[in-house]
Amino acid sequence: MRRGLWITVLAVVAFAVIVIARLPASWVVPSPPANVACASVDGSIWNGACTGLTVGGAVVGDVVWDVHATRLLAGKLAAHVVLTRTTGSAQGDVEVGLDKSITARNVRADLPLDRALMPQLPPRLNGNAHADIALARFENGIVTQLQGLIEAHNLEDRSGNITPLGNYSLTFPGGSGEPTGQLKDQGGPLQVEGTLRLTREPGFDLQGLVKPRADATADLTSEIQYLGSPDAQGRRPFALAATF
């Protein structure tokens, strides 16, 4: 795959694998030497605030927490956490077990793509992320359960001329087995549909079909032709898989 479609695919994968899987785990249970620091701390360990939180040198934002003390009786550290940045916010209920498993519920986030937080993102990709996650569970750094919605809005490739890439959504229905989400475009120059499976290695397996719409740029349309022969509806297959 060449530049335009490659960036689109990486963006969708980034939301599911980086935003939902890797960053929350490193924030909640940082592994040394993560260098977690606050510019200032107010309140108590039960109800407090960390202004200017940084993790591994990356500026995360301001964090407020409210610990649910009764969960300590069950060997769980649980809290409602709110993250605020100048460009967006996120909040949810997070619970950490003695085995360092993490369960997150009722997570809502609206944040721009920011390579300061997600260095794995393509450097010329701009856009916004929205997440509405009912349940996410992490065991030994692996996503074992995921139910909710992840969206990418107003994606643009700015490596040369600004190229609109559209809007995309990933819907995870939840349930047993490896979490598998349904990928669909929500308007833009590319008609996209497929599945993203989060594997236990850990890693991911993305499979799908793509077709340019009438408003796709000539370069984007040309790049898609390298994916292989189209089906009867003019859609071409794409695939991407990796392990961490």
Quick: pLDDT tens for 186-208. Answer: 988 999 999 999 888 888 888 98
> What secondary structure does DSSP assign to 171-239, as a single string?
EEE--SSS-EEEEEE-SSSEEEEEEEEEETTTEEEEEEEEEE-TTS-HHHHHHHGGG----TTS-EEEE
Phi, psi of 25 (to 5 degrees): -65, -40
Tell me which residue of 134, 140, 60, 61 sits closest to 99, measured CA to CA.
140
Respond yes or no on whether the N-terminal peptide bond of residue 32 is cis (omega within 30° of 0): no
The first and second tokens of residue 192, run together, are: 């996209």
85 to each of 28, 31, 68, 150, how far by Cα in Å?
Answer: 17, 23, 24, 19
| pLDDT surpassing 60 at residue 162 | yes
For the chain, give the percent of residues with pLDDT over 90: 34
Tokens (6 digits) for 65: 């927490």
C-beta of residue 197 within 8 angstroms of C-beta of residue 173:
no
Residues 6+ apart with CB under 8 A from 195: 180, 181, 182, 183, 206, 207, 208
Question: pLDDT, tens digit, for every residue of 202-238?
Answer: 888 889 899 999 988 888 888 888 888 999 999 999 8
Q: Are 198 and 137 contacting, i.e. CB atoms less than 8 angstroms apart?
A: no
Residue 15 pLDDT exceeds 60: no
Mean of the per-residue pLDDT values of the chain: 82
CA distance 126 to 8: 11
Q: Indicate the domain borders of the chain.
A: 3-243
The residue written with tokens 């963006």 in the block is 11
For residue 55, give the nearest of 31, 75, 77 by alpha carbon: 31
131 and 12 in contact (C-beta within 8 Å)?
Answer: no
Res. 32: pLDDT tops 80: no
Q: How many CB atoms lie within 10 A of CB 232?
A: 5
Q: Is the pLDDT of residue 39 over 70?
A: yes
Strand partners, 77: 96
Give the H/E segment covering residue 12. helix 3-14
Q: What is the pTM of this model?
A: 0.83
Residue 26's identity, in one-letter code, is S
The answer to whether residue 68 scores a pLDDT higher than 70 is yes
